[in-house]
Amino acid sequence: MAESTDTTPQTTGQSKSPARRAEGEGDYPLRSDKGLTSIADAVVSKVAGIAAREVAGVHALGGGVGRALGAMTQRVGIGGDSGVSVEVGERETAVDLVVVVEYGESIPRVAEGIRDNVSRRIEGITGLQVTEVNIAVNDLWFPGDEAEEDESQSRVA
């Protein structure tokens, strides 16, 4: 799934993922007789990124180059959550995450923790049903990795 940069609210369309519940079943908190509440992709992306970082064993989101570019764009105020991509429909959302896990942690346990926390936070904050949380672990973080990065950056003028 491509990383979303569109910040306009998504009010039409459905997720390509299968629904967890049948049409008309259960509550739909974003639509009432008084109107419709739409939630922008950027909002869901931000919630997903924060929720993923809350999980023990997650060092960072995004890959090496992605993290560097994300840090630069966030400094100038144009960046989204690096390593987070979402697809938002009227009732559902699907999330893709790229994470760096701390060395020594169980990757399956960390991934399950991410799925649980991201789903719980998004559903609780937005009212959207989370259909899937896909996780790509693209690196391991070892203690001392950042000290090496800082040292190499200080040599460059």
Domains of the chain: 38-154 (3.30.70.1350)
Low-confidence ranges of the chain (pLDDT < 70): 1-28, 64-81, 146-157
> What distance in Å separates the CA atoms of residue 128 and residue 131, rounded to the nearest whole number?
9
- In this predicted structure, what is the pLDDT of residue 12? 38
Answer whether 79's CB lies under 8 Å from 73's CB. yes
Nearest CA-CA partner of 137 in 110, 119, 118, 117: 110
- In this predicted structure, what is the pLDDT of residue 106? 98
* Three-state DSSP class for residue 48: helix
